[in-house]
Structure 1
Amino acid sequence: MSVTVQQSCTLEPGIPKSAGASEAATVPSPRSPAEQGVEPRGGPAAGPVVPPGRKRIAKELVHLHDEASVLVVDWVRRGPAEFTLTVEWPASAAGARPDPELAAHTLRQCGLAISHAEFGVPLDHQSLLRKLDFSIAPTARPEGNDPLLLSVDLRCSPENARDARGHGCEAMDFTVRAGARTIIRARSLATWISPGVYRRLRGAHLSPRWGDWEIPAPVAPSAVGRSRAGEVVLAATGAPDRWLLRNDPDNKEMFDHPVDHVPGLGLFTAACQAARAARTAASAGDLPAGTVDVTMAYSRYVEFDAPCFLETTETAGTAETAFAAESVEVTGVQEGEVAFRIGLRRGAGSLTD
């Protein structure tokens, strides 16, 4: 699980979020569609017209300490539980196909921002990601590799209003567009819990001695699509389809700030690297090409006091399959228990509206 995505649509909409005891953030009041240059509800599904390089929303809204990592620029409300957000991807991230890791972070930030600012979820509540599934279609590279503005339509809906522990459990549906072209569709399911419940849930794992664990040597950066050893989150085990998770506190992609368990999107980064490493070992290259379908399911926390292994299973399509599917499934195992399963699969074609 992770400190990640979602909202509670059971709360009264429009209540500003509460600031945490140790930090406060200014919550931007949602502006009307007319103020942001957006057609009102029922009109064209275009995003707000915002100049590239505009200041982002408060980093506290998306659970980050690094302002440079904030992607969300602004949003408007289109209905009781429907919103359109504007996201800006930096020039260095704009490419012929959105990177699955960037896509996941985009969805996470949109969900968190709306949860806190529009549905009143306090900053000190924990969001536990249970599932995140999305499809990515190829998109054209912007001319000159400029920053890319995206429009994200988000619809919130309760799903199983209370889970087995009595916590709110909510769903979100996302449609991400670059201009008029849909490039990502997604659905997430997560749970919000209060600080008191979280303390009881985490018990002795709540306050690990940050960084007080062994960090094994990384695999070659080229094997996982990276340029520096500090970006590698896998260590070799001697088996071609099994890796050990490296929890390097200096890796800001994995850890924006100290946490009590490995974040879900950090585990997704590790899964993507494992998928690349498996395909490199098989001389197959990078992640599956074309439209990519991603599935994430989290069932347990990944702790810092025990090794976590990532195991890959790859399936190649054949001429007999309907669309020559290729897939890589990554399973995370800690102390003999499955903690997460993440799949990357080549889909049938580009997304359509």
Structure 2
Amino acid sequence: MTLPTKLPSASSRDRLRYDATVPRALVHRASVAEVFITDSVAAATNGIGRAEATFEVAAQLPRGHLIGERSATYDFLLIVEVLRQSGVFVAHRHLDVPLDSAFIFKAMNYQVRSVDALRIGTRPAHLVISLDVRAERNRAGRVLGFDFDAVMFVDDVPALEASGGLVFVSKRAFSMLRAKGRDRVRTAAPASTLVSRLAPAAPAALGRHDPRNVVVTEPTVDPSGNARARLVVDTRHPHLFDHELDHVPGNLQLEAARQLAVAAVARLHGLFPEQLLVTELRAHFPEFAELDLATTVDARVGGVRQSKAVGLLSVPVDILLEQSGSTVSEVALEVALWA
């Protein structure tokens, strides 16, 4: 993906509003406080399903949030969430995907281009997510899903590039997909189903401050760069479980990957966890993660290198989340030393 050399068109940006958030149902949120999208416009249409359509989505990220804690930059998970909400909102508002459809994220990727653009300022930032969509339709014209490329502009500065893919299915089809996952639980070894509340790691070891945001156990890290932890799931968390779910959401899995990566890189390279920032994400979700199966999080930490994208020292980390021998997500992160 190539970063565009110009901003979204002034005419479309001038039409975007930031004075209120969109209805929460259109971004699949229960809490109004968890809605970040404020508006959107169709910037170009070139035959959805055959070529591309471009949409520009307006958003604000909160300067203070439970997940963001005391970070000087907009948090990794909040960036993931605003990208997710952008895709969901475009599907409902512009592509006529029914509100009762189930949304499945196949993949989510992003790469930071400007850390400075992500710094939290003295006023709420105006975001524009320019979303190029390639939709797949059935013979009747119904949208079955889409892949997207995106650029997030923060106060007119290109902050990051992103891409991903979503699939939309009916409630009946979703129930059939979930039945497959439940079969995996029924055939799992007894030890794999012991998921009573695990002891979370100390927040400071993970670059966190608030114990409520810790989602892994104390990591083990060996000198060769291998790290392991177990997933800690708290279904009462107001952001990660904004509404009731029958599976472990993707954003929780991504946060577990981030926390293990930060802890392992800090320990191996003698760094402070709070100085480490995720500047690149590549994630794929081949299976649903079940709430009542134990989840292991394994990481392999690479060597220190110079990131060409942001000009910082960074470390690549590859992470697998597994349940009962099956991979539920594959995540690759680039963790940079920025402060």
TM tier relative to shorter chain: 0.7 to 0.9
Q: Match of 2:217, SS?
A: strand
8 Å CA contact retained: 2:101, 2:170: yes
Alignment of 1:1-353 (within 5 A): 43=10, 46=13, 48=15, 50=17, 54-80=19-45, 81-92=53-64, 97-136=73-112, 137-140=114-117, 141=119, 143-144=121-122, 146-158=123-135, 168-203=144-179, 214-236=196-218, 241-282=227-268, 283-286=270-273, 292-317=279-304, 326-345=315-334
8 Å CA contact retained: 1:276, 1:285: no
CA-CA distance at 1:273 after TM superposition? 1.2
Distance in 1 (CA, whole Å) between partners of 2:255 and 2:315 is 19
Equivalence for 1:22: none
Q: Match of 2:178, SS?
A: helix
Q: Is the helix fraction higher in 1 or 2?
A: 2
The TM-score, its normalising length taken from structure 2, stands at 0.77
Distance in 1 (CA, whole Å) between partners of 2:75 and 2:242 is 19
Q: Match of 2:149, SS?
A: strand
CA-CA distance at 1:150 after TM superposition? 0.9
8 Å CA contact retained: 1:138, 1:291: no
8 Å CA contact retained: 1:98, 1:139: no
Distance in 2 (CA, whole Å) between partners of 1:259 and 1:143 is 34
8 Å CA contact retained: 1:294, 1:344: yes
8 Å CA contact retained: 2:283, 2:331: yes
Q: Match of 2:81, SS?
A: helix
Question: Structure 1's 278 and 303: CA in aligned 2 closer, same or farther, altered over 3 A?
Answer: same
Which residues of structure 1 form unaligned runs of 5+? 1-40
CA-CA distance at 1:214 after TM superposition? 0.9
Which residues of structure 2 form unaligned runs of 5+? 1-7, 46-52, 186-193
Distance in 2 (CA, whole Å) between partners of 1:248 and 1:290 is 24
What RMSD in Å do the two structures reach over aligned CA positions?
A: 3.2
CA-CA distance at 1:89 after TM superposition? 1.3
Q: Which amino acid aligns with 2:125?
A: L
Tell me the number of residue pairs that the alignment of Structure 1 and Structure 2 aligns. Answer: 297
CA-CA distance at 1:154 after TM superposition? 1.1
Percent identical? 22
Distance in 2 (CA, whole Å) between partners of 1:341 and 1:284 is 25
Of residues 322-331 and 333-342 in structure 1, the stretch that sits farther from structure 2 once superposed is 322-331
Distance in 1 (CA, whole Å) between partners of 2:61 and 2:180 is 39
Question: Structure 1's 337 and 49: CA in aligned 2 closer, same or farther, altered over 3 A?
Answer: closer
The TM-score, its normalising length taken from structure 1, stands at 0.75
Question: Structure 1's 143 and 243: CA in aligned 2 closer, same or farther, altered over 3 A?
Answer: closer
Q: Deviations over 1:44-80 (max 9, x none)?
A: 77465645xx321111111111110110011112122
Q: Match of 1:89, SS?
A: coil
Q: Deviations over 1:186-221 (max 9, x none)?
A: 111121111111111111757x9xxx9511111101
CA-CA distance at 1:294 after TM superposition? 0.9
Question: Structure 1's 230 and 264: CA in aligned 2 closer, same or farther, altered over 3 A?
Answer: same
- Identify which of structures 1 and 2 has the higher relative contact order when contacts are C-alpha pairs closer than 8 Å and 6+ apart: 1
Distance in 2 (CA, whole Å) between partners of 1:105 and 1:234 is 20
8 Å CA contact retained: 2:221, 2:264: no
